[in-house]
């Protein structure tokens, strides 16, 4: 992370914190970080950090033992996180306010987490009521509430990079693209665009429940934390979530020979069903002190207090 980004974050954090102190001493913040992995190291069992490949590169740096998957890389990984909720053992509850608006600055509660863009992987929840929290829930994808209000700005603006299906209107909840050794994707040359031979694109979307049979790929995931995190005006607790692409592909049973272009709700349904196995709780910190200096890689060398492993 660049120095000015760190500076900006500290500034934002301190402004929000100071505001809280003035308005409400019975609340605090919670950071939620997302990190991305490409399988486990077979010797140590440690999750391997995901490094983005150049688009079109055939350097396959990710490996699955599953024959249908084999060697591949990831050039694009992004997903929407929405409807974040924190809960505690004594009835504590925090629901991140959701708002769709044409004005970018008024959109709240919708996050587009994108590998390679570190600011997108750190979500700050503010005005969290003071208390103990031991559970986090969030949704992957943009549910109906994000569609039915019509045109939207900010992370929901398709002209600003929001992944959007124009023919079957809705946001792509999860995008994974790259090259795979086993992909049977032939080269396709269109008017001003090319689909590379051996590439793959998994676009998981679809929010409509038409006659209750059509794939609704908006999935809500809940994770128990590895202990209790105290939220108050003084501390900066943090939850670190992980996402393992190898786990997703293995659980989904992907065979790149036949599955390399997923662009419809039905084809994406199996992926969506297995999101709960691809996302995992990595760890939590009672005090989030130095996280932002890294580009969300492994935090195991971290020496903060209250490390719950």
Under the criterion CB under 8 A, does residue 149 sit at the interface with other proteins?
yes
With binding defined as CB under 8 A, does residue 201 bind other proteins? no
Nearer to other proteins, 22 or 211 (CB): 211
Q: Based on the shown chain and the rule CB under 8 A, indicate whether residue 161 belongs to the binding site for other proteins.
A: yes
**Closest distance between other proteins and the C-beta of residue 9, in Å?**
24
Following DSSP, what letter does each residue of 106-127 receive, concatenated?
Answer: G-BS-EEEETT-GGGGEEEEEE
Candidates 211, 212, 210, 219; CA nearest to 269 is 219
Question: Does residue 189 touch other proteins according to CB under 8 A?
Answer: no
Quick one: which segment of 163-171, 195-203, 229-237, 270-278 binds other proteins (CB under 8 A)? 163-171
Q: Which of 66, 132, 157, 197 binds other proteins (CB under 8 A)?
A: 157
**What 8-state DSSP symbol labels residue 34?**
E
Q: Smaller CB distance to other proteins: residue 99 or 135?
A: 99
Output 103 or 293, the one with its CB closest to other proteins.
103
Q: Does 105 bind other proteins (CB under 8 A)?
A: no
Closest CA to 237 of 119, 96, 98, 126: 126
The 264-293 contact track toward other proteins, x by CB under 8 A, reads xxx---------------------------
When binding is defined by CB under 8 A, the residue of 148, 189, 303, 309 that contacts other proteins is 148
Residue 158 engages other proteins in binding (rule: CB under 8 A): yes
Distance separating alpha carbons of residues 79 and 203, to the nearest angstrom: 10
Q: Which of 211, 301, 303, 305 binds other proteins (CB under 8 A)?
A: 211
Q: Are 77 and 175 in contact (CB under 8 A)?
A: yes
Any contact of residue 191 with other proteins (CB under 8 A)? Answer: yes
Place of tokens 């004594």: 90
Q: Which residues pair with 298 in a beta bridge?
A: none
Q: How far is the CB of 215 from other proteins (least distance, A)?
A: 7
Cα distance between residue 152 and residue 146, in whole Å: 8
- β-bridge partners, 285: 238, 307
State in angstroms the smallest separation of the CB of 154 from other proteins.
Answer: 9
Residue 172 CB, shortest distance to other proteins, in Å, is 14
Is 204 a binding residue for other proteins by CB under 8 A? The answer is: no
The answer to whether 46 and 250 are in contact (CB under 8 A) is: no
Q: Is residue 213 part of the contact set for other proteins (CB under 8 A)?
A: yes
* Long-range contact set of residues 142-148: C-beta below 8 Å, sequence gap at least 24: 142/80, 142/82, 142/110, 142/170, 142/171, 142/173, 142/207, 142/218, 143/82, 143/83, 143/207, 143/218, 144/207, 144/218, 145/98, 145/100, 146/82, 146/98, 146/100, 146/110, 146/171, 147/171, 147/207
Q: Per CB under 8 A, which region of 2-10, 13-21, 59-67, 260-268 contacts other proteins? A: 260-268
State the minimum distance, in angstroms, from the CB of residue 221 to other proteins: 24
35-94 residues near other proteins, rule: CB under 8 A? none
The footprint of other proteins (CB under 8 A) covers 101-104, 147-153, 157-161, 164, 166-169, 190-191, 208, 210-211, 213-215, 264-266
């Amino acid at each position: 992370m660049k120095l000015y980004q760190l500076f900006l974050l500290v500034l934002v954090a301190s402004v929000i914190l100071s505001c809280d102190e003035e308005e409400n001493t019975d609340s605090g913040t919670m950071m939620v970080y997302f990190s991305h992995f490409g399988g486990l190291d077979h010797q140590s069992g440690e999750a391997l950090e995901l490094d983005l490949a150049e688009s079109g590169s055939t350097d396959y740096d990710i490996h699955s033992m599953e024959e249908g998957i084999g060697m591949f890389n990831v050039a694009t990984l992004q997903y929407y996180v929405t409807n974040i909720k924190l809960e505690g053992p004594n009835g504590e509850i925090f629901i991140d306010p959701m708002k769709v608006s044409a004005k970018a600055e008024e959109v709240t509660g919708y996050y587009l987490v994108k590998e390679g863009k570190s600011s997108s992987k750190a979500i700050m929840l503010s005005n969290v009521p003071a208390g103990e929290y031991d559970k986090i829930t969030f949704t992957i994808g943009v549910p109906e509430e994000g569609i039915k209000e019509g045109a939207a700005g900010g992370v929901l603006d398709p002209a600003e990079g929001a992944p959007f299906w124009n023919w079957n209107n809705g946001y792509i909840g999860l995008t994974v693209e790259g090259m795979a050794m086993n992909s049977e994707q032939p080269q396709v040359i269109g008017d001003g665009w090319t689909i590379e031979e051996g590439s793959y694109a998994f676009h998981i979307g679809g929010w409509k429940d038409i006659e209750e049979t059509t794939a609704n790929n908006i999935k809500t995931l809940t994770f128990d934390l590895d202990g209790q995190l105290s939220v108050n005006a003084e501390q900066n607790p943090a939850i670190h979530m992980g996402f393992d692409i190898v786990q997703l592909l293995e659980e989904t049973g992907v065979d790149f020979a036949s599955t390399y272009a997923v662009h419809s709700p039905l084809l994406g349904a199996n992926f969506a069903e297995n999101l709960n196995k691809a996302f995992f709780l990595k760890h939590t910190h009672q005090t989030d002190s130095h996280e932002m200096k890294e580009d969300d890689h492994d935090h195991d060398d971290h020496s903060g207090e209250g490390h719950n492993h």
